Amino acid sequence: MEKNMPIKNFIFDFDGTLADSGETGVLATQSAFKQLGYSEPSKSLIEYYMGVPIEESFKKMNPDYTYTEREFQTLLSTFRKLYQSIEQENMTTFPNIPLVLSKLHQHQKKIFVVSSKHSTPLQRNLQQLNIDQYFDGVSGFDQVEHYKPAPDGILLIERQFNLISDETIMIGDAIFDVQMGQAAHVKTAAVTWGAHDLKMLVGSKPDYIFEQVNDILSLQ
């Protein structure tokens, strides 16, 4: 893949890339497990699985327990209620994200989000952060058959908006984002201000690694 091809389409992960949710995800996860009497996962384990839908990650966080369908749906709904109750106090964009999105928009780049969140809270969060106006489209986990690191979310966006893979980049803070981009045959960029550390990101072999938000603008 040639790195000097012009990039016209920017696909972002949400949590840990655009949005700094602080301790929201950790607190909501630990509280949900604790309320229902399950072993409370550690902060580091929760952060590792941040890029994976809770429908998969919650089972991986407690692998020694087999949930009934009713138990698992109760766990998911408890988490979602807890998350929504505290997200407004904790969630912000990372510094300069609105500025970078604005500049990409001004340069007529197409901008998207592919997230492991359900599309409904994803749209709500974009509006809460006052950045929804910059995005041409979003893909949540409810819109695809297979989740990250499968390429389905990117492929859906490409089909809907007639994107060319060589002109498209996936930007995320987790190895799952990089793996998804690689599976979709688009360029990939890992950012260091989110869930996964630099060593882990380097090991996933992205095309680019960004340590500052403004570095994204170097791709224009």
Q: Helix/strand/coil (H, E, C) string of 112-136?
A: EEECCCCHHHHHHHHHHCCCHHHCC
Homologous superfamily assigned to 9-20+92-219: HAD superfamily/HAD-like (3.40.50.1000)
Q: What is the mean pLDDT of the chain?
A: 91
How far apart CA 107 and CA 204 sit, in angstroms, is 30
Please give the model's pTM, rounded to 2 decimal places.
Answer: 0.81
Q: What is the pLDDT of residues 35-59, one digit of tens each?
A: 999 999 998 899 888 777 888 899 9
Banded model confidence at residue 4, pLDDT cuts 50, 70, 90: low
pLDDT at 2 over 70: no
pLDDT for 214: 95
By three-state DSSP, how is residue 28 classified?
helix
pLDDT for 90: 80
CATH code for 24-90?
A: 1.10.150
Region of 176 please: left (phi>0), alpha (psi -120 to 50) or beta: alpha
How far apart CA 139 and CA 146 sit, in angstroms, is 12
> What percentage of residues in the chain have a pLDDT greater than 90?
70
Q: What is the mean pLDDT of residues 167-176?
A: 94
Q: What is the mean pLDDT of residues 10-31?
A: 90
Residue spans per domain, the chain: 9-20+92-219, 24-90
